[in-house]
Amino acid sequence: MREGKITKELKGDAITEDNIARYAIKDVEETI
């Protein structure tokens, strides 16, 4: 589920491991 949300946020950005990691960390920080 989280990957789908991250992919939606990236939209036009190239989906790279760095981008996914960055958005995943951001998502975790917001959750905390």
pLDDT at 3 (0 to 100): 60
Q: How many residues does the chain have?
A: 32
Is 14 within 8 Å of 31 (Cβ atoms)? no
Task: For residue 5, name the pLDDT band (cuts at 50, 70, 90).
Answer: low
Record the pTM. 0.32
pLDDT tens digits for 10-26? 555 656 777 777 877 77
Going by pLDDT thresholds of 50, 70 and 90, the confidence category of residue 4 is low
Cα 6 from chain centre: 3
For residues 12 and 30, which has the higher predicted lDDT (pLDDT)? 30
pLDDT of the residue at 32: 60
